[in-house]
Amino acid sequence: MTFTTVTFVVFLALVFALYWIARRRTLQNLLLVAASYFFYAWWDWRFCFLMLSSSLVDYSVGLGLNVTKGRARRRLLLLTSIVCNLGLLGFFKYYGFFAANLQALTTAIGWRLDELTLRLILPVGISFYTFQTMSYTIDVYRGRLRATANLIDYCCYVSFFPQLVAGPIERATRLLPQFTRPRTFDYATAADGCRQILWGFFKKMVLADNLGAIVDSIYNNPQAATGPQLALATVCFAYQIYCDFSAYSDIAIGTAKLFGIRLMRNFAYPYFSQNLEEFWRRWHISLSTWFRDYVYIPLGGSRVGRPRKAFNAIVTFLLSGLWHGASWSFVAWGAANGVGVLPRLLRRGKALKAADTPGGAGFLPTAGALGRMLLTFAITCLLWVLFRAATIPDATWNQALLIYRSMFAEAFSPAGYQALWRMLAEEGWMRRTLYFLAGFVGIEWLQRRREHALSLDRWPPWARWALYTLIIWVTLDVGTRVSGAFLYFQF
């Protein structure tokens, strides 16, 4: 079941009621585990055995690390966890990719290799929960926390249904202790969670799904589109993937608040960034910090010379690109982002953090800040072309190159802009979606100091409720016409 369905709303209401009726922490956790496995089984009940197997391996490794003193034995236990997690992820997500490339390589050198392809279904959320369980054993190995002996608490950490399928990817040091403490209902926290859920529904159903329809109508036949139309589709895709994924994160974080659980922030207004390094501090924060903590820093991080620092960054982004999917386009996308962060990364100076106000503290950005934001957004949009091509099964490098060539060659084509205006004039729903998008960008700018855009504690109650009612009616009116799965479910 997906978040934006009546089924999920009914499921959430039932679990919420039973959870607070239970009161006792042990019963609450047991209910959360049962509800989470039911939620996961809704896609395919066989996936539950895979998640349970991964959980039991890392739970056992954690207990072993608690009592093992020898360095070699501890490393062996950690290696067991890493191999099992990456083995599961690699088999289900990358087997077909590597098999196809191996066959192509052997064919190129004149060898004949029998068919290696298996028909595998990618388990939903496997990229997320394997990284989460693996970080648990790594942190236990490093001594950052002691492994829990309570299997139910641990399973809550792994399978917590709001963030199970697409994150945020939590750390055990932050999330696991919340399941070991008693929780009491807090109205203010729950109310804020509802506001964040509402904002997530709006972003997904009104913006992401409708923007996706614009993107598909143009990108599905790029040969017939003009450069300006492809440029519009590229900008729309940038906001489609942002609104789609940040909507999931908002709903997940808001839902967790209903149960007295705090999940980490996953997006911090990334399109107001002034360089690519800042962008990656604000985009998919849980994954970016995961690769920073478990790949970049162990490689040497920024404590080494500039050549090695550049190498560490490129390797980290290559692996990040590959994490997103089994495609060379994802690898190229990761490499391009790695190269893009180097100019800022190799300079000495203070970098903006996700908690800092993007675009400056003023009501309007300075001319320099605005120029840097627009340039960073333009570069990001161009890189999203590679990402979009990688998500389409039949897409090739040629499609991405065609889009690039058309956008640049026809950047100043009067005929191209005339075709774009004609398309928008004929398609009223496209214009309406773009109006909503413009309003959304304005609201995000005004609220960029807040965790989410509906943090309106300074507004009088009547004004807040009027806005909530308007958002609900707009979402029901516009959002029910187009329905799509969350994009990151495929990763």
Residue 186, sorted as left (phi over 0), alpha (psi -120 to 50) or beta, turns out to be: beta
Query: CA 229, 234, 239, 242: dihedral to nearest 10 degrees?
Result: 160
d(C-alpha 392, C-alpha 42), whole Å: 25
Measured distance CA(366)–CA(361) in Å, rounded: 10
Structure token digits, residue 473 = 């009616």
What is the rounded distance in angstroms from the CA atom of residue 426 to the CA atom of residue 404? Answer: 26
DSSP string, 466-479: HHHHHHHHHHHHHH
CA distance 274 to 356: 12
452 is catalytic: no
Catalytic residue among 195, 257, 284, 324: 324
Q: What crossing angle do the helices spanning 328-345 and 397-409 adopt, rounded to 10°?
A: 50
Q: From the CB of residue 448, how many other CB atoms can be counted at a distance below 10 Å? A: 16
Sequence-ordered list of residues with C-beta below 8 angstroms from that of 332, at least 6 positions apart, any chain: 321, 386
- Cα(251)–Cα(260) distance, rounded to whole angstroms? 14
Q: How far apart are CA 34 and CA 55, in angstroms?
A: 15
User: Residues for the chain: how many in total?
Assistant: 491
Structure tokens at 375: 């340039």
Number of H helices, E strands in the chain: 21, 0
- Phi first, then psi, for residue 143 (nearest 5°) are 85, 15
- For the annotated catalytic residues, the residue numbers are 324
